[in-house]
Structure 1
Amino acid sequence: MNMATPIERPDQMLGALRDKLGAAAVLIGTDVPARNCNDWSASLPQAPLAVIRPIDAQGVADAILTCRRAHLPFVPQGGLTGLCRGASPEPGWVAISLERMTGIEEIDRASMTMTVKAGTPLEMIQKAADEAGFFFPLDLGSRGSCAIGGNLSTNAGGNRVIRYGMTRELVLGLEVVLPDGTVITNLNKLMKNNAGYDLKHLFIGSEGTLGVITRVVLKLFPKPRSTMAALCALKDYAAVIELLSAARSGLGPLLSAFEVMWPDYWDVITTRAGVKPPVVAGDSLYVLVEAQGTDESLDAPRFQSWLEELMERGLLVDAAVAQSLAQTQGFWRVRDICAEFGQVLGPHISYDIGLAVARMDEFVGRCKAALAEGIAGCESVYYGHIGDGNLHLVSWVAGLSVEQQPKDEMDAIIYGLVREMGGSVSAEHGIGTLKKKWLGHARSDAEIALMRTLKAALDPDHLLNPGKIF
């Protein structure tokens, strides 16, 4: 595909697009909002040349064609809650924001699907499903801000992957605008549809580098009628693995979350964040187990007896069982308070990695020692979803600003160990620009070459979110 020779200046083209889409749809220069200059990463904000805010797929196509004629790089934006600069612009770029493309278009009760616009916040989708008598299981700490299009673009994970899978497993159909402005509409509702390539998987997890997602068909599930939660203390990681096995076999499909917190995490939240520990404190590892079922009269006693059996076996040092929704939410606050680490710990660097479940504790011990030995004053804490192979950690040197944190040295130690142990440098947050230097630690040269081939086929002029991932 060859670029047509530009016949107008970019400002003229953007002005013409504003005349077509409306003044509220095209913000230029000093009218560009600060929110469109960065995602939630701590990187330096960069103001785009313009922000285009379409209301439908045709508006997105018009925006793309304008950028192509002016040869302007462009980046799609949703809720901007990413942590890897995947949706962040560079100077001279145009941001195509889907913030005005919000709303639930349809809930199909028979097929148990929901069709939504890509800019719709995740929490709005959760509430709409709940009000309709269904359940949408994707859940993230940024639920009130993140947009479903961004969730798809990064193949978001979250708290319930162990039961429902990543975002990829929750999508049936897509509408997407290609880098040449072509609108592909396949709002499929069928569970079984093997008519050729399943093209939606090209775009899910591609971080906005292959196309702009504009509408989505999501899978819904029956609403849970019972939720049980327990916060457990265990003596060591071997006991954690045994508990995970017991939860999978004893709770079966009821198991919906398995969150593990190492002693250093527990120490931070109880001594610095002021969390009152619901179970005995010490050198234990801590696990939040959640189960969801369909009959409270049967599920709650089953969950209680399962825990009592584990206590009798001596597997648990201590355990607290939630007796109400408020207590369940309190248990989750213990795990979700990591979102407040900026206030609790001060400036720090967050990491999101994937590892074999059996080797996570080995990684924690080796990584913590390597950071402390290799970087003067470096501290780190560890926690994660574990049941789905996802470990999170934060590291920092006290007294330093975010810009002063020795991130390059931290990256080299952490990602070097990830590569040695056969893991992934990104379990659920994506690559963006902040991790692309380390992509080769998790993907082979042949895999990266194929990624480049796909990118070149769909975006030969490299105008759609260029320089991201690889």
Structure 2
Amino acid sequence: MTLASPAAVPQPLLALRESLGASAVLFGDEVPQRNRNDWSTQPPAHPLAVVRPVDAAGVSAALKACRAAGLAVVPQGGLTGLCGGARPEDGWVALSLERMVGIEEIDPASATMTVLAGTPLELVQRAAAEAGFYFALDLGARGSCAIGGNLSTNAGGNRVIRYGMARELVLGLEVVLPDGTVMTSLNKMLKNNAGYDLKHLFIGSEGTLGIITRIVLRLHPQPGCTLSALCALPDYDGVVRLLGAARGGLGPLLSAFEVMWPDYWQVVTERVGVRDPLTGSARHGHYVLVEVQGTDEAIDGPRFQRWLESLMEEGALADAAVAQSVADTQAFWALRDACAEFFPTLGPHVSYDVGLAVKSMDAYVRACKAALAVRIPGCESVYYGHIGDGNLHLVAWVPGLSVEQQPKEAMDEVIYGLVREFGGTVSAEHGIGTAKKRWLGHARNPEEIALMKTLKAALDPLGLLNPGKVV
């Protein structure tokens, strides 16, 4: 069935196709399946068209055409989002940046890289490494996600504790506004206080205020060595003390602090089948992966070893394993990243990304696990996260139920209700999209939400750019 015949397509889109080329503007059944949804669990949509420009001028022309036709537009990058932010609705236009890929410049003097927004994160990382630099943003979808999408959701990832969120890695942007205006602000300077820092309007706004097309990224020196240890602790108080000791004893070397609760540990070692690198069979209260990035292994290796030994002598650690090779480090991270294997192991489940004060996390976990079990008989849940930067992940499921049968609404009410009670956030690094829009008020007060709506109305008065998302 043809979803949109030429006769049903507004004239501005037909003219856009003439201008950009037939391969850049696809209608109806021509729209690829990938452009009909992101990684959220919502059903695929039927957009009127997908537009695939190659530069900011093409993005501008597309937005002007859609504005003339009164059509809603959803920006799309790698489509790896989990909250529906890049999912179109039926009859919308999907504006995909999939052809805007490439490294425009690496400036060694300013330690910056200028890239097109559709460039995959892994390509950015590799280009930085080949130039002798390090791009610090890293997450599991690195091979698929696009850097523009990473910025639109202010992605976090594994090393926020040292390098910060995505917004800390950006110096300049080129953005196309909803009316088609191209705002070019490709700043390379760390210090630039000439008026409002406009880039922060668009980073984390999930494509509702403008479409990011080019980016100046901040690079760091390549680490001379990476060292890691897997630590077992008797309780959460010990985890908090270990975090303080790592900050104080390792300083800027500390690059990751990943915590796994015992329910998560049991699932990944016994059900997923990841090897337990710790000695003995004792179960512990918590497990922590500590990673440092140094400049010289001959200096930083012994320092890291002495730090761990002092903790063992003090009785702060119940057990520990130190990586002796790159393979060991990868094996440690395999435990933390085993959540990617949960679907074939656990079956259908629901994943959550929340933020809480570090001191409150264990109390939240205990309250949440108990409340889920009471509200939803048979519900199981496991907990893990970055912790050092206040980010907790959890997975909840009722065994034997399909994806559609999982009681997600009841889970949401318990999980986000407790987030509000504990003064946390319903989204630490995945964004709001449509999936969490209902719960935005649990993390933002009415005055904050009103200002968000004011900004949206000012930049997109017709409400055509990703409408209905975030606020």
Report the TM-score when normalising by structure 1. Answer: 0.97
Code of the residue aligned with 1:408 in structure 2: it is E
Determine the structure 2 residue equivalent to 1:3. Answer: none
- Residues 438-466 of structure 1: CA distance to partner in whole angstroms, max 9, x if unpaired? 00000000100000000000001100000
- Residues 32-71 of structure 1: CA distance to partner in whole angstroms, max 9, x if unpaired? 1111111111111112111100000000001101111111
Determine the structure 2 residue equivalent to 1:232. Answer: 231
- Taking the TM superposition and a 5 Å limit, the aligned residue runs for 1:138-177 are 138-177=137-176
Determine the structure 2 residue equivalent to 1:264. Answer: 263
Does the aligned pair in 2 maintain the 1:79–1:150 contact within 8 Å? yes
Cα distance between partner residues in 2 of 1:450 and 1:398: 42
Code of the residue aligned with 1:303 in structure 2: it is F
Cα distance between partner residues in 2 of 1:267 and 1:126: 33
Cα distance between partner residues in 2 of 1:184 and 1:32: 29
Determine the structure 1 residue equivalent to 2:3. Answer: none
- Residues 182-217 of structure 1: CA distance to partner in whole angstroms, max 9, x if unpaired? 000010001111111100000000000000000000
Code of the residue aligned with 1:335 in structure 2: it is R
Does the aligned pair in 1 maintain the 2:262–2:287 contact within 8 Å? yes
Determine the structure 1 residue equivalent to 2:20. Answer: 21
Secondary structure of 2:308's counterpart equals helix
Cα distance between partner residues in 2 of 1:184 and 1:383: 40
Does the aligned pair in 1 maintain the 2:227–2:293 contact within 8 Å? yes
- Residues 341-380 of structure 1: CA distance to partner in whole angstroms, max 9, x if unpaired? 1112111111100100001000000100000111011000
Cα distance between partner residues in 2 of 1:301 and 1:76: 49
Determine the structure 1 residue equivalent to 2:30. Answer: 31
Code of the residue aligned with 2:416 in structure 1: it is Y
Determine the structure 2 residue equivalent to 1:395. Answer: 396
- Taking the TM superposition and a 5 Å limit, the aligned residue runs for 1:158-237 are 158-237=157-236
Code of the residue aligned with 2:117 in structure 1: it is A
1:453 aligns with 2:459: no
Does the aligned pair in 1 maintain the 2:261–2:383 contact within 8 Å? yes
Cα distance, 1:16 vs. partner? 1.9
- Residues 216-275 of structure 1: CA distance to partner in whole angstroms, max 9, x if unpaired? 000000000011000111111011001100100010000000000000000100111011
Determine the structure 1 residue equivalent to 2:63. Answer: 64
Determine the structure 2 residue equivalent to 1:91. Answer: 90
Cα distance between partner residues in 2 of 1:66 and 1:401: 42
Determine the structure 1 residue equivalent to 2:121. Answer: 122
Quote the RMSD (CA, aligned, Å). Answer: 0.9
Determine the structure 2 residue equivalent to 1:427. Answer: 428
Code of the residue aligned with 2:444 in structure 1: it is R
Determine the structure 2 residue equivalent to 1:307. Answer: 308
Cα distance between partner residues in 2 of 1:273 and 1:43: 27
Cα distance between partner residues in 1 of 2:377 and 2:240: 33
Does the aligned pair in 2 maintain the 1:36–1:47 contact within 8 Å? no
Cα distance between partner residues in 1 of 2:370 and 2:105: 52
Determine the structure 1 residue equivalent to 2:289. Answer: 288
Cα distance, 1:23 vs. partner? 1.4
Does the aligned pair in 1 maintain the 2:256–2:290 contact within 8 Å? yes
> Aligned residue pairs: how many?
463
Cα distance between partner residues in 2 of 1:13 and 1:405: 43
Determine the structure 1 residue equivalent to 2:346. Answer: 345
- Taking the TM superposition and a 5 Å limit, the aligned residue runs for 1:370-381 are 370-381=371-382
Cα distance between partner residues in 2 of 1:386 and 1:302: 24
Cα distance, 1:9 vs. partner? 6.2
- Residues 123-178 of structure 1: CA distance to partner in whole angstroms, max 9, x if unpaired? 00000000000000000000000000000000000000000000010000000000
Does the aligned pair in 2 maintain the 1:37–1:46 contact within 8 Å? yes
Q: Given the superposition, is the C-alpha separation of residues 166 and 273 from structure 1 closer, same or farther in structure 2, using an over 3 Å criterion?
A: same
Cα distance between partner residues in 1 of 2:8 and 2:457: 26
1:46 aligns with 2:41: no
Cα distance, 1:330 vs. partner? 1.2
Cα distance between partner residues in 2 of 1:165 and 1:386: 13
Cα distance between partner residues in 1 of 2:400 and 2:42: 19
Cα distance, 1:11 vs. partner? 4.0
Code of the residue aligned with 2:454 in structure 1: it is T
Does the aligned pair in 1 maintain the 2:232–2:284 contact within 8 Å? no
Code of the residue aligned with 1:22 in structure 2: it is G
Does the aligned pair in 2 maintain the 1:419–1:441 contact within 8 Å? yes
Cα distance between partner residues in 2 of 1:206 and 1:13: 27
Does the aligned pair in 2 maintain the 1:34–1:47 contact within 8 Å? no
Determine the structure 1 residue equivalent to 2:251. Answer: 252
Cα distance, 1:15 vs. partner? 2.3
Secondary structure of 2:229's counterpart equals strand
Cα distance between partner residues in 1 of 2:308 and 2:355: 28
Secondary structure of 2:287's counterpart equals strand
Does the aligned pair in 2 maintain the 1:118–1:215 contact within 8 Å? yes
Cα distance between partner residues in 2 of 1:127 and 1:139: 12
Does the aligned pair in 1 maintain the 2:73–2:464 contact within 8 Å? yes
Secondary structure of 1:24's counterpart equals coil
Cα distance between partner residues in 2 of 1:48 and 1:327: 46
Code of the residue aligned with 1:394 in structure 2: it is V
Q: Which runs of 5 or more structure 2 residues have no equivalent in the other structure?
A: 1-6
